[in-house]
Structure 1
Amino acid sequence: MESITVIGGGLAGCEAAWQIARQGVGVRLLEMKPEKFSPAHKNRGLAELVCSNSLKAARTESAAGLLKEEMRRLGSLLMDCAGKCRVPAGGALAVDRDEFSRLATEAIENEPLIELCRQEAESLPEGVAVIASGPLTSDGLAAGIERLCGGRLSFFDAAAPIVTAESIDMSRCFAASRYGRGDSDYINCPINKEEYESFMGELLKAERAPLHGCDTASPKVYEGCMPIEVLASRGLDAARFGPMKPVGLVDPNTGHRPWAVVQLRTENREKTLYNLVGFQTNLKFGEQKRVFGMIPGLENAEFMRYGVMHRNTFLDSPRLLNVDFSMRERPELFFAGQMTGVEGYMESAASGMLAGLNAVRRLRGQDSLVMPDTTMMGALSRYISGYEGKDFQPMGANFGILPPLGTHIRDKRDRYSELAQRALRDLERSVICAL
């Protein structure tokens, strides 16, 4: 029986392998863990969530929610896993990351058409294949990709710290979700103006860890995963209008909105671990403990994982890839995941779904499945393959990349709702019926 090689057992690779198997085609899935780990990966399992445990907004009327609903309707493995290990996070879909990985690994291992090979891929495979090795692709394979593509686009990415629940001083904090959405799923550390300004001052003075593989003193950092200290350098109020924004929250101890707030989101169902939302960082570990200990409620926080920063590599996809995620120069070779320029967990998984489905169609000599540009998956596909600007940057799901509606709807919520409804109608009409 003919088979397709998939390289990488992250979110994109798992979805690609799963979709290929669902079409009745064999898969050889290569994953280098636990033989070898990247600087950011720690879990032996597949589909490891490295940075946040949030898969973003759940509401279909949001861009991230619409993307997930499209994936759900197309039979996403990871959306099924996420539904089984969801943890409270207000209006967001957040998961127990260890359970999420376990469920995905178990599904892949138990699928008869998927052969999971725990070995490093050191070169590009022959025949129809999906490369979903991620932005931290190992050196040998990365060199092969670079030769094939004639260059690459590099970033630095960062992860946030995780602390134990029992070490948080709840006398200084309060539990609530922004705007009262969902239950009181977040722990909020309120900060007054004086505390905020002192915190910002120490944050800016704190010593940063050296960046390995960095050729410049000021590496290019992707906006969607901006280290908190880099954000702070943009101005005193930058963080207060970013991850520390107090909007939609009222401190029950004062009856007023705080000047700023740090939100903590649960990492697991047991609620024993919490991550600092939006606090990706490259500070030295000792500096993280010192500076983040200035946050009310975290004075004696026990850190289970400090924030880290690492290199990410992205293709110049508009020059290299077709809308179906295949290479223009080698159409039997597909790419998927963050290395294509989609940003976010589910965006990466969605690209894996499309790459996997189209790899099967290429193998069978069929035309590619091209999603309607009115869908979020279709709009992201067109963005990475057809961006015409000079400075290609990764893009996550957002309504700005969808074609406008034929009629003007002034209210933003109503407009987003109509865009979502149009996307799902077009998905049902032109894609699901064809599969």
Structure 2
Amino acid sequence: MTQTLHIVGGGMAGSEAAWQAANSGIDVVLHEMRPEVGTFAHQTGMLGEMVCSNSFRSDDDEQNAVGLLHWEMRAANGLIMACADKHKLPAGGALAVDREPFAQSVTEALLAHPRVTVEYGEITDLPAEGHWIIATGPLTSGKLAEAIASRTGAEALAFFDAIAPIVYFDSIDMSKAWMQSRYDKGETEEERTAYLNCPMDRDQYEAFIDALLAAEKTEFREGETAGYFDGCLPIEVMAERGRETLRHGPMKPVGLTNPHQPEVKAHAVVQLRRDNKLGTLYNIVGFQTKMKYGAQTSVFKMIPGLENASFARLGGIHRNSFINSPTLLDDRMRLRAQPNLRFAGQITGVEGYVESAAMGLLAGRMASAEILGQDLPPPPDTTAMGALITHITGGAEAKTFQPMNVNFGLFPPVEGLRGGRRGRKDRYKAYTDRAKADWRDWLDSMAVPA
């Protein structure tokens, strides 16, 4: 009789793990505490809800590591990528999705699967028996986080994640703003006009920086220290690092021409990206913030074109916990101290929707193989998934372990290629060609169907 796999957490990782395990012939119970127990960031009880950006980042599978990760997940019949492709929005070379229909698709697919049962309610302890995957993400409930810390003998590490605000399109002044992807990137007119741009001259930029620095911020509770993931820094933290930081980051003006004043080069540009298919909502790209709500509305309305903006959601900040995976997990993602438990997703120290789903994919397949009496080794470290799992289960330095996006720095070098910027395009193509071949071989070698 086939044993049941229990998965705690219905986010990207848990949903993907459930899908992969169920398609391998394993009965799955997916435990999700929402909507009975809510979180700061979630708005619904749907599975696979996106709480921060609506972007899966670059979809370039030849020159970008996260694009390669997209490719590997598609090749492995990934649910998250299938739903993302179904509900993608114009975003230049990125893969952005209409977040609510996306989550609805994930939810419907899992509820309809004959081998998946979804049970709603909070899990507060780590079971001593059975096969379990803990995929509770950065907003793991307090009671379960305490159980994890108690069982592992180590305190959970933590950093803070910030959320960007969302603006109603019809409140944006299009006599000042315009639609254009940077460098007109995209194959269709819709893709080449996927971003909404708000220009600033030097004086406007300097005033904006002053207001950012002076704005009232959310204070941390006593005993908390503000560690941030560099890929999701609040804009005011970036501004504190230097007045030009934002102008060379999310507000860089390069590759854009203002059709209202084509002869004038903007000193800085704020970009917004479509947040839903209807085009009624736009999120401010890179504008994660810990400013208090009142400060946000006044500061963001200093942006040309947003003077009368209405906000569907303001930004916010939340604690994001993860375990020290290099010391706690083996290369099958099992807790060394209690091998019936696997961990997957952001709680393992990967960062990003795609990376979290990818670790769920691996955990689901590894757990299924074990239940079926097989041993599924991790994929080669020459693949995007293999590079990630190698990093979190032993490749990273445990003393300085911090959340990590997938990047080519995690891959073993390809011998015989020249270095430097001029050779980067060839080098990245060599990484992705090698990864695709090795990923296909790994999928073909498994008893678990791809």
Regarding TM over 0.5, the answer is yes
Aligned to 2:152: 149
State the shift of 1:420 in Å.
0.6
Aligned to 2:440: 428
Aligned to 1:415: 427
Distance 2:444 2:296 in 1: 48
Letter in 1 for 2:18: A
Aligned to 2:189: none
Change (3 A) 1:152 1:116: same
How many residue pairs get aligned? The number is: 433
> Deviation above 3 Å: which 4+ runs of structure 1?
none
Letter in 2 for 1:129: W
Q: Confirm whether residue 136 of structure 1 aligns to residue 123 of structure 2.
A: no
- Asked whether the equivalents of residues 31 and 119 of structure 1 are also in contact (C-alpha less than 8 Å), the reply is yes
Q: Confirm whether residue 179 of structure 1 aligns to residue 183 of structure 2.
A: yes
Distance 1:416 1:78 in 2: 25
Distance 2:256 2:301 in 1: 22
Task: State how 1:49-198 maps to structure 2 within 5 Å.
Answer: 49-61=50-62, 62-125=64-127, 126-150=129-153, 151-182=155-186, 183-198=192-207
Letter in 1 for 2:429: S
Distance 1:145 1:268 in 2: 36
Distance 2:46 2:131 in 1: 25
Letter in 2 for 1:50: V
Distance 1:248 1:323 in 2: 43
Aligned to 1:328: 336
State the shift of 1:190 in Å.
1.1
Q: Confirm whether residue 203 of structure 1 aligns to residue 207 of structure 2.
A: no
Distance 2:99 2:378 in 1: 31
Aligned to 1:403: 412
Distance 1:278 1:33 in 2: 28
1:126-152 deviation digits (Å, cap 9, x = unpaired): 311100011111111111101112211
Q: Secondary structure at the match of 1:331?
A: strand
1:289-323 deviation digits (Å, cap 9, x = unpaired): 00011011111100110001010101011100122
**What is the TM-score of this pair, normalised by structure 2?**
0.94
Letter in 2 for 1:171: S
Aligned to 1:263: 271
Aligned to 1:22: 23
Letter in 2 for 1:66: L
Change (3 A) 1:103 1:208: same
Change (3 A) 1:389 1:2: closer
1:147-192 deviation digits (Å, cap 9, x = unpaired): 1122110111110000000001111111110121122100011111
Aligned to 2:258: 251
Q: Secondary structure at the match of 2:400?
A: coil
State the shift of 1:389 in Å.
5.4
Change (3 A) 1:432 1:191: farther
Task: State how 1:266-305 maps to structure 2 within 5 Å.
Answer: 266-305=274-313
- Asked whether the equivalents of residues 329 and 335 of structure 2 are also in contact (C-alpha less than 8 Å), the reply is yes
Task: State how 1:6-17 maps to structure 2 within 5 Å.
Answer: 6-17=7-18
State the shift of 1:254 in Å.
2.8
Aligned to 1:353: 361
State the shift of 1:400 in Å.
1.1
- Asked whether the equivalents of residues 167 and 298 of structure 1 are also in contact (C-alpha less than 8 Å), the reply is yes
1:30-67 deviation digits (Å, cap 9, x = unpaired): 00111111111112211010100000001112111000
Distance 1:381 1:389 in 2: 14
RMSD: 1.2
